[in-house]
Amino acid sequence: MKFSANLGFLWNDRSLPDAIRAAKAAGFDAVECHWPYDVPAEQVRGALEETGLPMLGLNARRGDVAAGDNGLSALAGREAEARAAITEAIAYAGATGTRAVHVMAGFANGPEAHSAFVANLRSACAEAAHHGITILIEPLNRHDAPGYFLTTTDQASAIIAEVDHPALKLMFDCYHVQITEGDLTRRLRNLQPLIGHIQFASVPDRGAPDHGEVDYRHIFATVAALGYDMPLGAEYKPVGPTEATLGWLDAARRGVAMPA
């Protein structure tokens, strides 16, 4: 089993290049991030080349966060902003060798939001395909992101079918899916053909995956049995120094019970 460190949460007290180096030192197989745009792409690429770690994904900008934005692509009337953010993300991904871009929907609802999201995703996929980059969409749970447009894997699956482009995949975040829908094992099995990336954290506190209501030893074994061989994304919020929360990583690699 391979694992990716999400540097939006892990080692986020360090610069992104130094966080990449920390992930390598800790034994991760890959990294991913949230919004890296304040760091020159050449610095990130240099750290990736130095460590030999691939960058699996990054997010398109959310918009005006101070005004409450959490994504733009389902916001009717703001298509120009959404597509500019997507173009920027694809360019940054290309410059750093990043494999996927997460296009965030934002806070919206209704048929106009749906139409805007589908149209923006079609544009994103057409652009990303020229660079060999995958576009990801991720349902978020109603407690952490009330009012977010994309909330369930069924909704995401229907949108993927409607867009009908091979570059569009599902980001299956076990944390969000468990809170909203549960039934993780069956959903992973049934949705496997659509999945472009898998993330995880404990439920309900979004901490390290060594406690809470999800048995990640079982989930990791399920994913392995499905033949999914890409690194799984550790997107959890550490309590204290990141290094102090990594007992689960060694346990998962050795196939033993995770520490409590």
Kind and range of the H or E run holding 102: strand 100-102
Give me the torsion for CA of 166, 172, 176, 178, rounded to 10°: 130
Pairing of strands 168-173, 134-137: parallel
Q: Rounded to an integer, what distance in angstroms lies between the CA atom of residue 33 and that of residue 233?
A: 10
> Is 81 an annotated catalytic residue?
no
In the set 138, 162, 181, 243, the catalytic residue is 138
Kind and range of the H or E run holding 234: strand 232-234
The distance in angstroms from the start CA to the end CA of the chain is: 20
Q: Which of 175, 130, 177 is nearest to 153 (CA)?
A: 177
Identify the residue whose tokens are 């482009």.
Answer: 165
Q: Are 76 and 116 in contact (CB under 8 A)?
A: yes
> Is 162 an annotated catalytic residue?
no
Other residues' Cβ atoms within 10 Å of the Cβ of residue 128 = 25
Q: Give catalytic residue positions.
A: 138, 235
